[in-house]
Amino acid sequence: MKKGKSTGARSLVRALEKMGVEVIFGYPGGANLPIYGALQGSSIKHILARHEQGAAHMADGYARVTGKVGVCLATSGPGATNLVTGIATAYMDSSPILAITGQVPSTMIGNDAFQEVDITGITIPITKHNYLIQSADEISPVVEEAFYLADSGRKGPVLIDIPKDILSSEFLVSNEKEYVLEGYNPTIKGHPGQIKKAAALIKDSKNPVIIAGGGIFHSDAFEMLLHFVEKSGIPLVHSLMGKSSIDSNHLLNYGLYGYHGKVAANTAIVKADLIIAIGTRFGDRSTGPLATYARDAKIIHIDIDPAEISKNVSVFVPIVGNARDILPKLTDLVSLKEIPDWIDLLNKTVVEHPLRKGGKEISVPGALEVLKQVIPDAIIVTDVGRHQMFAALYSDVKAGRTFLTSGGLGTMGFGLPAAVGAKVGSQSLNKDRPVVLISGDGGFTMTCQEIITAVEEKLPLILVVLNDSSLGMIAQLQDEFYDGSFDISNLGDFVKFDKLAISMGAVGHRTETLEEFEKAVRDAQSSGKTCVIDCIIKEEAHVYPMVTGADLLDLVE
């Protein structure tokens, strides 16, 4: 290559290095091979997923644990479409990932070429923004722009689609453009007048409650939230995405609220006269029926996305901006609230409405209790379904990026690859933590091939399959709302997950008692290897509380 010249692919890899990318999760194919050529000799490590969906969830898990943009790479056509579920998952949970796809040569676009698909068209509704690259000299500025977009404001996925001929073509580096984003100026600092109004409302409130959402997570506002809670003395509930916004056993944390919320948490919402919602979007799994939602409460809504204000519930005082920036200012203006009656009411509700416990035989709550005791400092990753709600209700986590779950999209199959990405991310941080996957047999089967990736990367992972041979949440919904109709939730016991794990090079355990399970968890913890524990659930039960009626207190316990 002549001096001062580069190729599209080299320019891409150089730009990624410049943005601090350490790892890419990807899968090769015809159209992205030039990128693999350019990765030769790069400081960026490539991790080969066994399915592009896995690569996208890995990038997502990595992003959630590190707070950095996770990068995934796929080829054109089916490679690109396989990313779609992963991109949509990241979009719904505002997780910053960059998806790079190879595209057929620009001269063939629109001609139904082999492995051609309009991936920018397909991903418009599930990305914050996307790009179809037109010339090699725009790759570098587009990568910079894409990183900025993914990681600023309300975070989210961005996709860059690059035709193969542009990846291979030479261009003069001096011709590279700079990026300009005139129409994108996220609001970061909260309006001081609004913050004052909020403080005044807090001062006058009698039954205030804080809702912590995923925004605390994405803005790393854990400490700021803790100060706010402790200085104000206001009780807190959280959405699914906000589970790790504060220590699970903090005295003022009343836990998950919503469809499967704890009775005390739902009581706090129903009886509140003031809600201080932080980084949460009042999703339908949280609010329940909107007509009856928090009828007596005024709502203060702190959110970085102006489009979330009054989208689902009408907001009295909106504060648009970053929770990390707003919370300290609000904390300055509040003083400790004397609300003993309110706190007593909630504490009494906690005592009167405990969660159901498991029995002597192994149950999901029983297994989760073992995990809690043996690995108290874990990053917990869940899949989607009944076990996910159990995990949200029964597991304890420390404040921080410690509870990873597919909240908005509810993607079965998310857990295992996200755990792989989470572990890779955790290892890159100063403080590596154990990563525990809590999965069900249904979701685990969907992406189980990623055990191979974990083994190849020698990742110490504790992968727990809570195996009840069924789609638990489906069974629960059918029992509750469909008269237990058409039997579609029974998965049978065909798969021996321990043997599946062993066949893929991992350590496999099969446990049928709590003692065996505890031993397997301890073995897995000390082995430093990728371990799958096929935990056979003997005492199958649905997850409660579950809202079945017209408001958040109309529930089955």
Partner 1 sequence: MKHTISILCDNKAGVMTRISGLFSRRGFNIESLTVGTTEMDDKSRFTIVVQGDDSVLEQIRKQLQKLVHVIKVWDIKNESIIEREHSLIKIQVTPEKRSEILQIITAAEARILDSTGDYWTLEVTGSTAAVSSAISLLSEYNIIESIRTGRIALERGVGKS
The contact set with partner 1 (CB under 8 A) reads 120-121, 124-125, 128-129, 132, 149, 181-184, 305-307, 311
Taking a C-beta distance cutoff of 8 angstroms, is the pair 131, 142 a contact? yes
Minimum distance of partner 1 from residue 316's CB (angstroms): 16
What are phi and psi for residue 272, nearest 5 degrees? Answer: -70, 150
Minimum distance of partner 1 from residue 218's CB (angstroms): 16
CA 129 to the chain's CA centroid: 19
Taking a C-beta distance cutoff of 8 angstroms, is the pair 69, 44 a contact? no
Closer residue to partner 1 in complex, CB, 184/481? 184
Closer residue to partner 1 in complex, CB, 61/156? 156
CA–CA gap between residue 260 and residue 266 (Å, rounded):
9
Minimum distance of partner 1 from residue 118's CB (angstroms): 10
Minimum distance of partner 1 from residue 177's CB (angstroms): 13
DSSP of 272-296: -SEEEEES----HHHH-SGGGTTTT
**Beta pairing class for 555-556 and 546-547:** antiparallel
Closer residue to partner 1 in complex, CB, 120/405? 120
Q: How many CA atoms lie within 13 A of 239 on its CB side?
A: 27
CA–CA gap between residue 106 and residue 134 (Å, rounded):
8
Handedness of CA 251, 257, 262, 268 (dihedral sign): positive
Closer residue to partner 1 in complex, CB, 181/556? 181
Would you call 25 helix, strand, or coil by DSSP?
Answer: strand
Angle in degrees, CA 57, 150, 144, rounded to 5: 115
Minimum distance of partner 1 from residue 526's CB (angstroms): 48
Question: What is the set of active-site residues?
Answer: 52, 114-115, 164, 473
CA–CA gap between residue 521 and residue 374 (Å, rounded):
8
Closer residue to partner 1 in complex, CB, 53/322? 322
Closer residue to partner 1 in complex, CB, 19/173? 19
- Judging by beta carbons within 10 Å of its beta carbon (0-12, 13-18, 19+), is residue 512 exposed, middle or buried? middle
Minimum distance of partner 1 from residue 171's CB (angstroms): 20
- The secondary element (H helix, E strand) that includes residue 226 is helix 222-232
